[in-house]
Amino acid sequence: MKNCKEIPSTYNQRLAQICDFMREYSKEIAQDDATDNISESYPRIKEVLNELKDSASPNSDMLWNPTSEELLFAGKLAWRNSNRCIGRLHWKSLHLKDNRHVKDPSLVFDALLEHLRFATNGGKIRSVLTVFNNDVSIHNPQIIRYAGFTNSDGSITGDPLMVPFTKKLLHMGWIPKSRHEYVILPLLIETRDSGPVIFDLPDNPEYVLEVPILHPEYDFSGLGMKWHALPVISNMDLCFGGLRFSCAPFNGFYMGTEIGARNLGDIARYNKLPEVADAMNLSRSRNDSLWKDKALIELNVAVLHSFKTAGVKIVDHHTASDQFMLFNQLEKSQAREVTADWSWIVPPVSGSACPVFHHEMEDRTHFPNFLYRNQPYL
Ligand code: ARG
């Protein structure tokens, strides 16, 4: 966690980033509600520069203290600038939970429960960013994830991706109630004044909503598949204005292929295609029967169907691609450039049937943005 607290290297770089952010804030906020915001925000720059002068020491983490409004705006722009996200059309809908005052691990846990409850919203998922101060760390890469247990014969029960983190928790004394394929991992929370503390998430759909994955025509019930409704990223830092918020979990809602193609389909994840093919009575003896492709499509049909039936918000990859193209147009109309990472934007199934496949993209990083925990900033 220590290296997340790195501060931008030079005073001048920091200054430039703060001014860029303030300029953007005044330009866009003023444009949005045609008030006197420009004249309000320039005095704000002076205020921030004074604050910076007072607090700038080589070891200070928080060089200036954004208001909640500035923080929310930074979160929205960090989403808008996320090159790997296909769902950026919705960037304006982000909600902020400003929890920078919270110090105690159990209060951090409470704040995360509130994030889960508000964001889950009985399936009508809302996009939420919760910001803590930099003395708080959440060790989980996502707030809701399934454990991966290594069995004595070397096989894995659960999500192979989570094997190292599961091992770490078990080593620290976590005792799972059972060991099946979909055991929700507890949270591992640490603050400056505490060691790492383990918190079990409640077995309650108000906080952790899960959807059984069933097919409208084939019988997939024997596969016992399910997935959680909410993807909450907790291993990325919110970076803007020369600041790095190293504990800022955020969520959107799922695109079907994230679950149906990758989480359940990848060989190195739940690897369900052979079982799906068997449930569909497909022969798996020849590659050129395209049994994997057929199974993959029906697994994705099942994910979309199941979420829809359960009343949980999800988007299919065709709609998401169309929305991304619309996002491009809207940004262009505001004279803003959209940067993007093609290899992440193009969906993992039926790529060429989606408009994004045929769209050229440049992968440069603008700030505000979300950076992975240990990725250098400035
Ligand atoms: N792909 C990740 C997962 O399957 C989630 C990444 C964020 N996704 C999103 N739709 N906001 O859990």
34 token code pair: 């045609």
Question: What separation in Å is there between the alpha carbon of 221 and the centre of ligand 1?
Answer: 24
Q: Which of 2-11, 109-118, 160-169 has the lowest mean pLDDT?
A: 2-11
- Residue 44 is predicted with a pLDDT of 82
Q: Which atom of ligand 1 is nearest to the CA of 251?
A: 11
Q: With a 6 A CB cut-off, is 231 part of the ligand 1 pocket?
A: yes
Q: With a 6 A CB cut-off, is 252 part of the ligand 1 pocket?
A: yes
Q: What is the mean pLDDT of the chain?
A: 93
Which residue ranges make up each domain of the chain? Answer: 1-62
DSSP run (H or E) holding 227: strand 226-228
**Nearest protein CA to atom 6 of ligand 1, as residue:** 231
What is the SS3 assignment for 269? coil
pLDDT band at 373 (very low <50, low <70, confident <90, very high): very high
Sign of CA dihedral 261, 264, 265, 267: positive
Average pLDDT of the residues in 121-140: 98
Average pLDDT of the residues in 232-254: 97
- Residue 148 is predicted with a pLDDT of 98
- Residue 341 is predicted with a pLDDT of 98
Q: Which atom of ligand 1 is nearest to the CA of 262?
A: 4
- Residue 43 is predicted with a pLDDT of 78
- Residue 100 is predicted with a pLDDT of 98
pLDDT band at 2 (very low <50, low <70, confident <90, very high): very low
Q: Using alpha carbons, list the distances in angstroms from residue 99 to 68, 118, 128, 136.
A: 10, 14, 12, 10
pTM: 0.94
Q: With a 6 A CB cut-off, is 255 part of the ligand 1 pocket?
A: yes
Q: Is 50 exceeded by the pLDDT of residue 59?
A: no
Q: With beta carbons less than 8 A apart as the criterion, state whether 77 and 70 touch.
A: no
Q: Which of 34-48, 123-137, 216-230, 328-342 has the lowest mean pLDDT?
A: 34-48
Average pLDDT of the residues in 281-293: 98
Q: With a 6 A CB cut-off, is 265 part of the ligand 1 pocket?
A: no
Q: Using alpha carbons, list the distances in angstroms from residue 254 to 35, 126, 158, 309.
A: 36, 11, 20, 15
For the beta carbon of residue 347, count every other beta carbon within 10 angstroms.
Answer: 23
Report the C-alpha gap between 96 and 111 in whole angstroms: 12
pLDDT band at 6 (very low <50, low <70, confident <90, very high): very low
